[in-house]
């Protein structure tokens, strides 16, 4: 139908609209059975083209209907979505019950493991690492681009964040837009699903890399970075590795022996009877979630993470990460959440 025809119908309907409004009679439209539709005022108009249906009547009625639509949208976002829609399925990582790990039970400062954290299982929405696939976004860095200099330069961070990380996010979203069968899956579910890894490796790689980078940025801090951890994290490091020095030596080894590109991780293995901290390396985009391990901390050892500042000297980059950048408070909060959210699942 051409715009000219639509406009002529609109002009023809104008008197009926004015009549209905002047008589203050508003109500649903009924079909007269003769190809015409009537409002409660008895004014008839053609049923084709511009006929506005239930919106014939006072403008206040239109406003009320708009308010109802707005209320419905609010319900979907704030109530329905957290219960399982594609807008916000609150999947969490596989984590152990606090009762399974005696160190959680016997820790001398239990209040240290009950606060709200900012790790991957936190209910703190401002820093949670749950990523609904329907809304993968490029997050802002938690600090300025020059905040980690001179250890990691502004040029490196801008390139890493705005080009590499952004490319993973854009590619993942393009695939998800074209293939709706993944719409109700979280990023974590895609990472854990072995069939997706096999059938759609491009999707897996880009979703996993989006997740990995969003996590990595918070593993560094320009304020108080480096040094040694404290609290429950240090206690568990000593229990599971013997000492902090042994733990660091093992994690550095994993980072330096990762062939090509990949990641070095500190994680928590939640398998029943094996609850402990673990250090592991993954190649490419892989993530401990695929192996039932909750990530606590990571070092990106893809060359684009350090080459502009350290060239081929990955060992210097890893040492600098531990000496000046590592955010132990973030890792400890992630570990705290392993215990504090277990009973909420």
Do 70 and 124 belong together in one domain? Answer: no
Who wins on pLDDT, 270 or 210? 210
Q: Show which of 48, 79, 110 is a domain's final residue.
A: 79
Q: Show which of 47, 79, 111 is a domain's final residue.
A: 79
38 located within any domain: yes
- 262-269 and 293-300 as β-strands: parallel, antiparallel, unpaired? antiparallel
Do 318 and 230 belong together in one domain? Answer: yes
Do 164 and 257 belong together in one domain? Answer: yes
Mean pLDDT computed over 216-235: 95
Q: Note the pLDDT of residue 151.
A: 97
Do 69 and 151 belong together in one domain? Answer: no
Mean pLDDT computed over 67-78: 65
Statement: residue 83 has pLDDT above 90: no
272 located within any domain: yes
Mean pLDDT computed over 285-294: 94
Give the number of other CB atoms < 10 A from CB of residue 31: 10
Do 104 and 193 belong together in one domain? Answer: yes
Statement: residue 135 has pLDDT above 50: yes
Q: Note the pLDDT of residue 275.
A: 85
Terminal CA-to-CA distance of the chain, rounded, Å?
Answer: 55
pLDDT tens by residue, 5-25:
333 334 433 444 344 444 444
Do 26 and 173 belong together in one domain? Answer: no
CA 89 to chain centre: 10
Q: Note the pLDDT of residue 274.
A: 75
Q: How far apart are CA 338 and CA 93, in angstroms?
A: 9
Q: Show which of 79, 111, 146 is a domain's final residue.
A: 79
Lowest mean pLDDT among 38-47, 84-93, 187-196: 84-93
Do 110 and 70 belong together in one domain? Answer: no
Statement: residue 67 has pLDDT above 90: no
319 located within any domain: yes
217 located within any domain: yes
Do 73 and 107 belong together in one domain? Answer: no
Q: How far apart are CA 177 and CA 223, in angstroms?
A: 39
Q: How far apart are CA 30 and CA 193, in angstroms?
A: 53
Mean pLDDT computed over 195-214: 95
Q: What is the CATH number of the domain that holds 160?
A: 3.55.40.20
**Which residues lie below 8 Å from residue 140, measured CB to CB, with a gap of 6+?**
none
Closest of 167, 202, 200, 208 to residue 181, by C-alpha? 200
Domains contained in the chain, number:
2
Do 127 and 33 belong together in one domain? Answer: no
CB 133 within 8 A of CB 187: yes
pLDDT tens by residue, 230-281:
999 999 999 999 999 999 999 999 999 999 999 999 999 987 677 899 999 9
Domain range for 124: 98-344
Who wins on pLDDT, 50 or 130? 130
Statement: residue 46 has pLDDT above 60: no
Q: Could you tell me the pLDDT band of residue 96, with boundaries at 50, 70 and 90?
A: very low
Q: Note the pLDDT of residue 17.
A: 39
């Amino acid at each position: 139908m051409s715009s000219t025809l639509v406009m002529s119908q609109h002009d023809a309907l104008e008197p009926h609209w004015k009549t209905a409004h002047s008589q203050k009679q508003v109500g649903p439209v009924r079909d007269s059975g003769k190809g015409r539709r009537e409002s409660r005022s008895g004014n008839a108009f053609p049923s084709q083209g511009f006929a506005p249906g239930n919106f014939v009547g006072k403008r206040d009625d239109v406003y009320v209907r708009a308010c109802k639509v707005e209320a419905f949208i609010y319900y979907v976002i704030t109530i329905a979505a957290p219960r399982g829609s594609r807008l916000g399925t609150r999947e969490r990582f596989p984590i152990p019950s606090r009762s399974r790990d005696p160190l959680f039970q016997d820790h001398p400062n239990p209040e240290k493991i009950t606060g709200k954290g900012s790790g991957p299982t936190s209910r703190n929405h401002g820093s949670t690492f749950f990523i609904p696939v329907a809304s993968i976004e490029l997050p802002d860095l938690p600090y300025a681009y020059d905040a980690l200099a001179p250890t990691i330069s502004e040029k490196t961070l801008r390139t890493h964040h705005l080009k590499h990380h952004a490319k993973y996010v854009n590619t993942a979203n393009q695939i998800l837009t074209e293939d709706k069968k993944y719409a109700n899956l979280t990023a974590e579910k895609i990472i854990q699903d072995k069939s997706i890894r096999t059938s759609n490796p491009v999707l897996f790689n880009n979703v996993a890399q989006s997740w990995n980078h969003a996590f990595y940025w918070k593993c560094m801090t320009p304020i108080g970075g480096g040094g040694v951890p404290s609290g429950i994290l240090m206690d568990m490091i000593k229990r599971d590795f013997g000492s902090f020095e042994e733990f660091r030596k093992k994690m550095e080894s994993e980072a330096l022996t990762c062939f090509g590109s990949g990641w070095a991780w500190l994680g928590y293995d939640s398998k029943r009877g094996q609850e402990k901290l673990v250090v592991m390396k993954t190649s490419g985009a892989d993530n401990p979630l695929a192996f039932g391990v909750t990530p606590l901390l990571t070092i990106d050892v893809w060359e684009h993470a350090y080459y502009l500042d350290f060239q081929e000297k990955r060992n210097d980059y890893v040492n600098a990460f531990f000496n000046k950048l590592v955010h132990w408070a973030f890792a400890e909060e992630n570990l705290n959440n392993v215990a504090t959210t277990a009973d909420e699942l």
